[in-house]
Structure 1
Amino acid sequence: MNKNIIFLGRNGQIANAFFEYYKSKKTQSLDNFNCKFYSSNDVDLGDLDAVKNFLKTLPSNIDMIVNCMGYTNVDKAEEEQELCDKINHRSVAIIADYCFNNHIKLIHFSTDYVFDGSGDEPFSEDNTKNLNPINFYGKTKLWAEQAIQKSGCDYVIIRISWIYDNRETSHNFVNTIKKLAKEKEFLNIVNDQIGSPTSADFVARNCFKIFNEALSGDKTSQQKFQRRILHLNNGKFMSWYDFACQIIAELKQNNAHLMIKKVLAIPSSQYKTKTPRPSNCRLKSKIHW
């Protein structure tokens, strides 16, 4: 029997990757899913009443809701705290309660920013000592995790970091570097923030494997992904500086017309932002992706 999955956040990088991967039918296992995608035009997570009304319109045969929506502008989150909290936390709490009451599995995407960024060792899924976000965006994501766990619903919370996709319209580090490399001769990029650049395609591909097991009739597989927090990355860590150099090297290999002459490594103290970022964004995963 096919499983019915609802995706929220069609406009974003992650949900779009799910959509493209599902549409391509790259693996036979995708035939087991009936997937429907909703964008922010269909449901505004900043309007809590709209969220409740939207959930009332959903069919009764849903097996899973995958929430890819989120307020991700870290700097602006400090200025729009109420809106950020509604989108990242309070609406998620409503969705989690709905999933509990209707026996629906919830997949929710979180972030490395729930940690304080201290030290230089990767944070594991069961690390609670360092769950101390240093900015408001991170706080709302942690509150959402806690609301999901408190709801009693069956869930998988998937923490990811440094997401990018290949769409030219996406706001991500890759596109920013591509643009600046064509406009500037020198770039100053921080070298003391370490994380794992993760493509949205990588997330979609591996998450569909999770969905397949989580919704299977096999109890062992179901229990493997029952009320769990997972870290999803490729296990490779680098700085923003390293990542920028990698992007530019690939552009040069493809004979792109560039102005860039040199990428300069600088500490975060020399690159002022409105909002502090964690320096250690390493996530350790118990699962080998």
Structure 2
Amino acid sequence: MQSQVSTHQPLKPRNKLRESPLPWLVPLLLILIVVFLFPVIEIIRLSFTDSTLVDPNYSYTLSSYLSLFNQPGFQRMMWITLLFVVFSVSFQLILGLLVALAIDQGQKRNLKGTIAVRTAVLTAWAIPGVVIGVIWRIMYNETEAGILNFFVSTVSGTTVPFLSDPTFALVAVILANIWRGTAFSMILIYGGLQTLPKDILESARIDGANAIKRLTKIILPILAPIIMINLVIISIDTFNTFDMVMALTGGGPGQSTEIIALSIYNLIFREFNLGQGAAAAVVLLTINIIMTLVYLKILGREGRS
């Protein structure tokens, strides 16, 4: 009896490198190191120097941080940044919620114009910050030719110094930023509204719960994780706002609208103080890291729930 000849071919050794995701990740890692990690490390290094843009020589010192924290305008700048962030974020969140609820109710009742309203709100989010600054600068024109002052002068006979008065200028910048950022809050909250369990809302309606109770007892508790994530994201974005404020007021009048991101620009490119500007950038980076850790903690909590 002839022995059967095995027809099975020996298995080829597996190429572990070919099956590994490492070759695909290496280019991405290189790009991240070049465009992100290296600049961050360089900014941190320069923050511990007294370097300037006009003198190539510098020494390592803590004077940049000491002079930054001790200069008279630093506390005022941080206070202005805090006011800008708190009021912008609060009203972006509130208005985003109200607009999302209005659009959601409009769609449920088949009202005309809901798509137009949603498109108009999204347009504000899509416009670049520099363009938004220019648009609002035109609207805030302090002569009667300005859009807002035209209506004010028609009613009261006077004009409002929107951009020349320090208090009015700060309010004007905050209003422009609220208009700009409301759309993002609306997008997130509107998406959350589409995931609400309809049976629970219908049961509450049958039980006699009015709109306010349904909002406070059912809708907001369910949307709480989305609202928290939205809060952290828009806070980070507002802390880093630069382009719109630069185009609208340039930080003026004086330094009444100079927030931290704009202060970094002024320190480096107007005062040529690279070390002190890098120190201010590290302060902003620290704020961003703290806000990012809060964001990741919220996401982790949601993943476990």
What TM-score range do you get, normalising by the shorter chain?
A: under 0.3
- RCO greater where, 1 or 2, for CA within 8 Å and sep 6 or more? 2
The TM-score, its normalising length taken from structure 1, stands at 0.27
Higher strand share: 1
**Higher normalized helix content (fraction of residues):** 2
Structure of greater Rg:
2
TM-score, normalised via structure 2 length: 0.26
